[in-house]
Structure 1
Amino acid sequence: MFLGTAVHRAENGQNTWQLAACTAVVMVTCAVGSASQYGNSDQFTRRGWIVAFLLAVLTFDVGLASRRRHVPRLLTGLGTISYSVSLVHPVLLAVIDSTMGRLRHNNLVLEVAFYAVLLPLCMPTHRCIEAPAQSWGRELARQVPTDLRSGPAPFSQ
């Protein structure tokens, strides 16, 4: 979110590209450093968090580089429900852990089953919770006087 906001503001002239690049460096450093320093004592778990985060940054970079191109509908749909996925997947994992227990090794069939349950579950949560909340937020933002909406002056260099 922070990197996306920094890039958006740089594109719209509210900040410089240098500031967006600095934001990216600080964000990656903090995320990788905190995963390394405060992650589970298991080295595999730490590496997993770091690799997952770096893959997320790479995905962001690919999306940024290809944002002016046609995006397949499936990827657009996944992007639409991605916030719901981020909120629902820990709950689903907790349910699985409490009912089936945690397996020591990955099982491809169970991973496919996990996504087969998660993704359809996230569609109604997006439609019934996230989308109405976004509409409500936009409506509240429209009610704020224009001079208060702009917020503090953007950073400049």
Structure 2
Amino acid sequence: MFLAPARLAWLDALRGPAALAVTMHHAGWTFLPGVWAEVDRRIDLGTWGVFVFFLVSGYIIPASLERRGDLRAFWTGRAFRLLPLLLAACGLALLLAYAGVLPLPPGLAERPWPVVALGNLTMSQELLNLPAVISVTWTLSYEMAFYLMCVALFSVRQAHRSAGVAVALALTAVPLGLLLPKAVIGGRADLAAALLGLAVVAAVAVTALGRGRTRTVAALAGGLLGLALVVLGSRGGTWQGVIILATMFAGTAVHRAEQGAISWRAAGVAVAAVLGCGIFAKDDPAWAPAIVLAFGVFAGAYALRRRAFPRWLSYLGVISFSLYLLHPILLHVLPDLATFLLALVPLSMLTYHLIESPAQRLGRRLTRP
């Protein structure tokens, strides 16, 4: 059995199964709805998968930002990591939709295409109540809000307060969720969506290219904007949206404790607060087991982080973004579950080596000191 280096292999060993859990959740409902209904009423594997992703992002993204120590390099790295495959997958989905192979995303034809494109390219469409070209990209909107908040905390030298932020978000998620059970940013508010999308672009651009006080003000504005979008625009309700943010900051708190920046007690309080407030965020019996299992699996993988992991398992994590983005397209193209499973991994390997990996190398060259 080939083994992968242990330093970061444990993160990839989490990403791979998480991506496969999401794909199996959607494939089960597509190809085996009767069987999958029995699974899904006990534990929502899709929710488990995305919460593992959120914990991994929380752990690694602030570390990446602080390792670079350069906001321009951070945003450039994120852009070359996410946008090339996102653009390719969205382009393919639209081509197949207009060819009649895929169904057109709900609401896409009724909204102005420049506004929809802006929302999807800024990865904020979920929080702006805009149609997603690929349905699963809703998670990227929360990732984007998290990036904006991390950059804001970094800019004012408060990044070490991630445990406190996680606790504050978790505790406020409950009353905010009761007050705002549905998204305030709703309906066909095209002008508002366009202005908010442009505000996201401006915050990123000025933070990446500006200097001194201008950069700091832009970073703070971006962080507040990211938080506001989650509070006001979460389609699943404010409680769920804020808990997602809190989950990512809980992952950051684990990283801080590992580095000795905060105590393990503080990190434990953050994790406990997020779990305690998060398990009731959705009135679904399959929700709480999924969240608890996600935190438990993350803790187990962290405990084994110095061990070697099978190389194939880590490789699944390397291609997990391709697995995640491409599987909704294949579900509509392929006729059965067996064909879907046989095609997904090879296609994801191909897109990783032809699109993701070259783009990441280019991003690293552009940000090299």
TM-score of the pair, normalised by structure 1:
0.56
SS at match of 1:86: helix
Q: What are the equivalent positions in structure 2 for 1:1-157 lying under 5 Å apart?
A: 1-2=57-58, 3-29=250-276, 32-34=279-281, 36-37=282-283, 46-93=284-331, 95=332, 110=337, 112-143=338-369
Number of residue pairs matched? 122
Give the number of the structure with larger relative contact order, counting CA–CA contacts within 8 Å between residues 6 or more apart.
Answer: 2
SS at match of 1:14: coil
CA shift, 1:68, in A, is 0.9
- Deviation string 1:74-117 (CA, Å, 9 cap, x unpaired) is 21112222233233233333x25xx76xxxxxxxx82x443322
SS at match of 2:309: coil
| Aligned partner letter, 1:15 | I
Provide the aligned C-alpha RMSD in A: 3.2
- Deviation string 1:41-71 (CA, Å, 9 cap, x unpaired) is xxxxx44454444433333222111111121
- Hey, what's the Cα distance between the residues in 1 that align with 2:264 and 2:346? 38
SS at match of 2:345: helix
Q: How has the CA–CA distance of structure 1 residues 62 and 73 changed in structure 2, closer, same or farther, with 3 Å as cutoff?
A: same
Query: Which deviates more from structure 2 when the two are superposed, residues 69-78 or residues 7-16?
Result: 7-16
- Hey, what's the Cα distance between the residues in 2 that align with 1:113 and 1:88? 14
- Hey, what's the Cα distance between the residues in 1 that align with 2:330 and 2:295? 25
- Hey, what's the Cα distance between the residues in 2 that align with 1:6 and 1:69? 22
- Hey, what's the Cα distance between the residues in 2 that align with 1:19 and 1:136? 39
- Hey, what's the Cα distance between the residues in 2 that align with 1:92 and 1:30? 36
SS at match of 1:68: coil
Q: How has the CA–CA distance of structure 1 residues 51 and 83 changed in structure 2, closer, same or farther, with 3 Å as cutoff?
A: farther
Q: How has the CA–CA distance of structure 1 residues 55 and 121 changed in structure 2, closer, same or farther, with 3 Å as cutoff?
A: farther
| Aligned partner letter, 1:65 | A
Paired-residue identity, %: 41
| Aligned partner letter, 1:60 | F
In the other structure, the counterpart of 2:32 is none
SS at match of 2:357: helix
- Hey, what's the Cα distance between the residues in 1 that align with 2:363 and 2:269? 30
Unaligned runs of 5+ in 1: 38-45, 101-108, 144-157
Q: How has the CA–CA distance of structure 1 residues 4 and 137 changed in structure 2, closer, same or farther, with 3 Å as cutoff?
A: farther
Unaligned runs of 5+ in 2: 1-56, 59-249
